Amino acid sequence: MKQFFIKSYGCQMNSYDSLRIADALQEAGHKSASSMNDANILVFNTCSIREKADEKLFSDLGRARLKKLQAQVTGDDFIIVVTGCVAQSKSEDIAKRAPYVDIIVGPQEIHKIAEDIKNFEKKNKIIRTESNAQNKFLHLTHQFFNREVSEFLTIQEGCDNFCTYCVVPYTRGREFSRDASDIIAEAKKMLSMNVKEIILLGQNVNSYRGIGPDGETWNLSRLIFALADLDGLKRIRYTTSNPKDVDESIALAHREVAILMPFVHLPVQSGSNAVLQRMNRKYSAEEYLKCIDLLRDSRSDMAFSSDFIVGFPGETDDDFQKTLDLVEKIKFAQAYSFKYSPRPGTAAEKMPNQVPEERKSERLQILQKILNDQQSSFNEGYVGGHLNVLVTKGGRHKNQQVGRSEYSQSVAICDSYLEIGDVARVKITESMSHSLVGVVV
Ligand code: SF4
């Protein structure tokens, strides 16, 4: 029996994969350690979305190496595993730069990690980067350990879109949608473990096309209607959507499924059609606005978050102004914005007219100021009003609990007698920079 510690970087899909790796390691008899220092199996589940992400891994591996050397002195077993998107795209590089890493497997080989550790013999490094999501989901353990009231559930993996700045199609492979009956079975198991909110995951979650129990091909909307019938499920969310796949069927789900939250993460990246074209995003700014209108017409209380990239190759001041104009039109409840980061092997990396770093920083600062102001005014708009809050954990103060509103805002509830997992109507009394305070009605 060993103690394992999993460090998960990057996206929600990595968080889900890390949970499934932990299930398999516990099923194999290993125990979860509370910190890297208490573990003799270290698993790094990596992200390669931006350059900084790669480098973060190598600095952590440096620390892991020291722990391994200490273990070798005392003759203890110590295994280092690297998985996730950097393992998929840079397995040879990792093996060269960090020869003390024992097991390097891609994100679609995580179902074999427990077996690898069992069969691992010193000196025989294991490297596997097969790309077969179907196989992964077929062989992931069905034993679940430790679930929170709000949990992710991957329904679709991989991507066929090849946006020119993105590595995901190279690290997660082609789009694969799980069978709906598989997903429903996993959801039922999660509900039996007191999960109340399920967040459906996919790189392009709204291009989900899985086989239903009726043999038909189901889309995301059809799946949501089926999940909404499950006893005990209080909330459904889904992420990440692609604007090109927003259609009437998902608007129908928002109109009719009460437990589907009125908050959609819809990355736009830029407001300039010229930039969107060079990004190969397959929609225009006008079409994006139509998606927003379609969803807003389905529920008047609908709100949005988004992703932005500034400084994409060739982006002019006028292009950037178009992004600001779009942001002004929509007013986002939340948003994530980044400077363009050239990724090895992507088409954009080789594009002419790369934008100077300081120009990227200027634009990011301007955009983030506006987005932060929009988020603050969205939150302030609820002071004196009411939100429905799912209690997720205890608060720092006596009789205080913390939860998430339907817009994923963090809400501290004072004088609360609620249980974790309860959904309460809360009167908002105060708005802080990134959270709210309220009392139960
Ligand atoms: S849609 Fe584009 S940005 Fe999103 S995962 Fe696919 S290639 Fe990457």
Alpha-carbon distance of 208 to 380, in angstroms, equals 35
Q: Give 185 Cα–ligand 1 centroid separation in angstroms.
A: 28
Q: Give 399 Cα–ligand 1 centroid separation in angstroms.
A: 43
Of 261, 278, 300, the residue that ends a domain is: 261
- 376 & 336 share domain: yes
Contact 255, 211 (CB under 8 A): no
Pocket test residue of 12, 242, 283 for ligand 1, highest count of atoms within 8 A of CB: 242
pLDDT of residue 121: 67
- Shortest-distance atom of ligand 1 to CA 169: 7
Pocket test residue of 50, 166, 340 for ligand 1, highest count of atoms within 8 A of CB: 166
Share of the chain above pLDDT 70, in %: 99
Instruction: Please indicate whether residue 74 or residue 290 has the higher confidence score (pLDDT).
Output: 290
- Shortest-distance atom of ligand 1 to CA 162: 7
Alpha-carbon distance of 344 to 165, in angstroms, equals 9
210-249 confidence digits (pLDDT tens) = 999 999 999 999 999 999 999 999 999 999 999 999 999 9
- 13 & 67 share domain: yes
Q: Give 145 Cα–ligand 1 centroid separation in angstroms.
A: 31
Q: Give 69 Cα–ligand 1 centroid separation in angstroms.
A: 40
- Shortest-distance atom of ligand 1 to CA 204: 1
Q: Give 98 Cα–ligand 1 centroid separation in angstroms.
A: 29
Residue 436 backbone zone (phi > 0: left; psi -120 to 50: alpha; other: beta): beta
Alpha-carbon distance of 295 to 288, in angstroms, equals 11
- 92 & 35 share domain: yes
In which domain, by residue range, is 398 found? 386-440
- 155 & 223 share domain: yes
| 308 assigned to some structural domain | yes
Q: Give 159 Cα–ligand 1 centroid separation in angstroms.
A: 6
- 246 & 151 share domain: yes
Return the closest-CA partner of residue 116 out of 87, 73, 85.
Answer: 87
- 256 & 172 share domain: yes
- 252 & 308 share domain: no
pLDDT of residue 31: 96
Q: Is pLDDT above 70 for 307?
A: yes
Q: What's the mean per-residue pLDDT of the chain?
A: 94
Q: Which 3-state string (H, E, C) describes 164-199? A: CCCCHHHHCCCCEECCHHHHHHHHHHHHHCCCCEEE
Nearest CA to ligand 1 atom 2: 163
Q: Give 235 Cα–ligand 1 centroid separation in angstroms.
A: 26
Of 240, 261, 282, the residue that ends a domain is: 261
Nearest CA to ligand 1 atom 8: 166
- 40 & 14 share domain: yes
**Which amino acids bring their CB within 6 angstroms of ligand 1?**
159, 161-163, 166, 168-169, 203-204, 242
Alpha-carbon distance of 257 to 236, in angstroms, equals 9
| 337 assigned to some structural domain | yes
Q: Give 18 Cα–ligand 1 centroid separation in angstroms.
A: 21
Contact 220, 254 (CB under 8 A): no
Share of the chain above pLDDT 90, in %: 86
Q: Tell me what the mean pLDDT of segment 85-93 comes to.
A: 93
Q: Give 280 Cα–ligand 1 centroid separation in angstroms.
A: 10
- Shortest-distance atom of ligand 1 to CA 203: 5
Nearest CA to ligand 1 atom 1: 161
Please state the length of the chain: 441
Q: Give 15 Cα–ligand 1 centroid separation in angstroms.
A: 18
Q: Tell me what the mean pLDDT of segment 328-334 comes to.
A: 98
Nearest CA to ligand 1 atom 4: 203
113-142 confidence digits (pLDDT tens) = 999 998 886 667 899 998 888 889 989 988
| 105 assigned to some structural domain | yes
- 306 & 196 share domain: no
Distance linking the first and last C-alpha atoms of the chain? 49
- Least confident interval from 75-79, 108-112, 308-312: 75-79
Q: Tell me what the mean pLDDT of segment 302-311 comes to.
A: 98
Q: Give 203 Cα–ligand 1 centroid separation in angstroms.
A: 7
CATH number at residue 419: 2.40.50.140
- 164 & 212 share domain: yes
| 400 assigned to some structural domain | yes
Q: Is pLDDT above 80 for 415?
A: no
| 268 assigned to some structural domain | no
Ranges assigned E (strand) in 274-396: 303-310, 334-339, 386-394
Q: Is pLDDT above 80 for 342?
A: yes
Of 329, 357, 380, the residue that ends a domain is: 380
Pocket test residue of 47, 161, 276 for ligand 1, highest count of atoms within 8 A of CB: 161
- Under the banding of pLDDT at 50, 70 and 90, the label for residue 396 is confident
pLDDT of residue 221: 98
Q: Give 95 Cα–ligand 1 centroid separation in angstroms.
A: 27
Q: Tell me what the mean pLDDT of segment 151-159 comes to.
A: 97
CATH number at residue 71: 3.40.50.12160
Q: Is pLDDT above 90 for 366?
A: yes
| 139 assigned to some structural domain | no
| 79 assigned to some structural domain | yes
31-72 confidence digits (pLDDT tens) = 999 999 999 999 999 998 766 777 889 999 999 999 999 998
Task: Indicate the number of domains in the chain.
Answer: 4
Q: Is pLDDT above 90 for 357?
A: yes
- Shortest-distance atom of ligand 1 to CA 167: 8
Q: Tell me what the mean pLDDT of segment 154-172 comes to.
A: 95
| 26 assigned to some structural domain | yes
Q: Is pLDDT above 90 for 257?
A: yes
Alpha-carbon distance of 324 to 405, in angstroms, equals 27
- 91 & 162 share domain: no
Q: Give 355 Cα–ligand 1 centroid separation in angstroms.
A: 21
Pocket test residue of 88, 162, 165, 168 for ligand 1, highest count of atoms within 8 A of CB: 168
Alpha-carbon distance of 224 to 250, in angstroms, equals 9
Q: How many CA atoms lie within 13 A of 346 on its CB side?
A: 26
Summarize the chain as % helix, strand, coil (round to 5). Answer: 40, 25, 35
- Shortest-distance atom of ligand 1 to CA 172: 5
- 169 & 120 share domain: no
Alpha-carbon distance of 401 to 418, in angstroms, equals 8
